[in-house]
Structure 1
């Protein structure tokens, strides 16, 4: 069977700057004295249609970075990601416009995904019913609690019928009733051959739903195997980590984070610097910066 997602030596790095102007200097080609942070390093795995993959790891391990790469929100710095289908990311407030109401966000998200007006009209009521946020559906998103944003985001995404559903901690803020409702919906999608990435800190959430689990540890794959095999190892690690003193935990994290940094590294920016596209982007950034400066001067 052909993989629906194939990641080959995928790395995502971020250049860190001491001053704002250093970023502009970097854009025009000066790569000296740069510090880079490896959010993900040499990630390789394959996932097949119909699988539900759990993604676990302590804070700072690169789970949300991986979610954004799989959802094609941003490109990798190096390596290849082959995605054979449409993906949809569910994270708290991801893709929602804070100035628009819930119902307006439904219309916007559906239009962005190529739905026709008649199709939008057909699924809007189902989305609103699933979200179950009452009259808040006509209020601006900025007035929503994190739980309400999560409800609406999940409701929209699952009704867009994506091939790949990526759930990034979006269910951690909802109540138990809504969580169980979401589990039923994800099992329904799974039964229909959809692929799901379920990102969570909770072993108990991953255990009943996932076929395999990917354990990320400070930007690298620690283990990728059957669910129970990984969760046993991860549970043992968490038990060991929790038994450390506060100073020992701090030192461990510091040591691991140090390995994710590389000073004086000229980061490969293949994805961003692609032929003329890079120079067009750089030119636009310069124009926007100049216009913003002029606007600020005129506004005084």
Structure 2
């Protein structure tokens, strides 16, 4: 039986595969306000000119910055997909748009289930204890208080924070906070789990536990997206990789093939920089 395009993306869906995320021509544009030049031009000089410059330099200047430019792909149930690219390439913006957290400038996103997004900068309150943040995080995931209480011990144990759970999160190290965020997000098996750089902050033991949990979610027909600068982590945890470059989808395919191409380009860029320096 031949593959057919049932998603409208132009990408054929193999027989027996069930799409979980369909992204078609997705675009995200940021608006930057302000400019370097004042509204009066270069002739404004001296003390008065400098004063006027401080007041008028942001007048009427709006710059549109395309962060994601026409990205299309289909993700399937049971896949673990690594998203790689340089800083500022649009990786996190793409997945935050897929999760519905930021507005899009165009295109379409279809999700076949609930989406859980977690990352190093996930919003938990540093003034509250770990215990209170577990409750708030669980409620934000749509769980009842009873369900959160039932998962409490599992979350504390998985995060490895022990008695620190009773202390404000501002007393936690960055690694402890990241572990807690991951544990809250992964305490249930969402249909789609998006992990943004969080695993890079953990130690070897925690990364192994996280990888095992991601595999469990995948085995339950979940789809996992992992945004990471570490191709080693992506190679270990993902069976597919997407390379985003300057807001464009540069490559999508088997993890090793995509990571190999990305690393070759990065090595070439570093060589050019050394020669220039």
Compare 89-98 and 181-190 and name the one that shifted more.
Answer: 89-98
Select 1:89's aligned residue among 89, 92, 117.
117
Identify the residue that residue 41 of structure 2 maps to in structure 1: none
Identify the residue that residue 82 of structure 2 maps to in structure 1: 54
Identify the residue that residue 172 of structure 2 maps to in structure 1: 144
Question: Are 1:13 and 2:29 counterparts?
Answer: yes
Q: Distance in 2 between matches of 1:77 and 1:149?
A: 33
Q: TM-score, normalised by structure 1?
A: 0.75
Q: How many residues align?
A: 237
Contact persistence 2:34–2:62 (CA under 8 A): no
Question: Are 1:209 and 2:237 counterparts?
Answer: yes
Q: Write out per-residue CA displacement over residues 239-292 of structure 1, whole angstroms, 9 at most, x where no aligned residue.
A: 11121225859xxxxxxxxxxxxxxxxxxxxxxxxxxxxxxxxxxxxxxxxxxx
Contact persistence 2:118–2:194 (CA under 8 A): yes
Contact persistence 2:118–2:198 (CA under 8 A): yes
Q: Distance in 1 between matches of 2:202 and 2:179?
A: 7
Q: Distance in 1 between matches of 2:129 and 2:189?
A: 22
Contact persistence 2:242–2:253 (CA under 8 A): yes
Note the residue ranges of structure 2 that are not aligned, 5 or more in a row.
Answer: 1-16, 36-59
**Per-residue deviation, 1:218:** 1.2
Question: Are 1:101 and 2:112 counterparts?
Answer: no
RCO (CA 8 Å, sep 6+): is it higher in 1 or 2? 1
Identify the residue that residue 116 of structure 1 maps to in structure 2: 144
**Per-residue deviation, 1:75:** 2.5
Q: Distance in 2 between matches of 1:18 and 1:62?
A: 22
Identify the residue that residue 100 of structure 2 maps to in structure 1: 72
Q: Distance in 2 between matches of 1:212 and 1:220?
A: 17
Contact persistence 2:27–2:69 (CA under 8 A): yes
Contact persistence 2:23–2:74 (CA under 8 A): yes
* Structure label with greater radius of gyration: 2
**Per-residue deviation, 1:89:** 1.2
Q: Cα–Cα, structure 1 residues 131 and 214, in superposed 2: closer, same or farther, change >3 Å?
A: same
Identify the residue that residue 191 of structure 1 maps to in structure 2: 219
- The list of structure 1 runs, each at least 4 consecutive aligned residues, that deviate by more than 4 angstroms after superposition, is 246-249
Q: Distance in 1 between matches of 2:198 and 2:228?
A: 9
**Per-residue deviation, 1:226:** 1.3
Question: Are 1:233 and 2:261 counterparts?
Answer: yes
**Per-residue deviation, 1:223:** 0.4
Select 2:161's aligned residue among 133, 155, 167.
133
The structure richer in helix per residue is 1
Q: Distance in 1 between matches of 2:275 and 2:194?
A: 35
Contact persistence 1:17–1:34 (CA under 8 A): yes
Identify the residue that residue 188 of structure 2 maps to in structure 1: 160
SS of the residue 1:230 aligns to: helix
Contact persistence 1:110–1:160 (CA under 8 A): no
Q: Distance in 2 between matches of 1:51 and 1:103?
A: 32
Note the residue ranges of structure 1 that are not aligned, 5 or more in a row.
Answer: 20-31, 250-300
**RMSD of Structure 2 on Structure 1 (CA):** 1.7
